[in-house]
Amino acid sequence: MQPVYFEPIGVIHSPFKNVDEIPRQSIYAADTRAFIELKEELRAGLYTLDESPYIVVLFFFHQAGECLLQQRSRHDETLRGVFATRSPRRPNPIGMTIVKLVRITENWLEIEGVDMLDGTPVLDIKPYSAGLNPPESSNK
């Protein structure tokens, strides 16, 4: 397989300055606000994104540490394979979260429901649509 390389499209500015402060999932940070600073040259790509109340943010776990192919669940201490977890310590430490889009000002997106570390590189932004790919339609 050929290697794949990504260049960040922006960076997260959040109140979480170290890994120990970050909630385990965004549902535990529903009111936490932060900003995505998008690269200025990509600003035109935000056109009509404000029509979506929620967005999907794909990001790089830049401080995740070494990959663990098997690790214990934080909830019940069960040993699981990395692909059966939501752990950041993965072969490709890519994270995904759904956040509320509060507003867009130039190349800055104000978001709510953040579980990302300050300085996190953003890889992509997509509008969220609950009905677009519901799990029950994937097996038809």
- The answer to whether the CB of 127 falls within 8 A of the CB of 47 is no
Helix then strand then coil, in percent of the chain rounded to 5, is: 15, 35, 50
Residue for token pair 């790089």: 60
In angstroms, the CA 122 to CA 52 distance is 18
Q: pLDDT band for position 22 (50/70/90)?
A: confident
On average, the pLDDT of the chain sits at 88
**Fold topology of 10-64+92-127:** Elongation Factor Tu (Ef-tu); domain 3 (2.40.30)
pLDDT in tens, 100-138: 999 999 999 999 999 899 999 999 999 998 877 666 655
Domain ranges of the chain: 10-64+92-127
How far is Cα 78 from Cα 91, in angstroms, rounded to an integer? 20
The type of residue at 21 is E
pLDDT for position 29: 65
pLDDT in tens, 51-77: 999 999 999 998 888 888 998 877 788
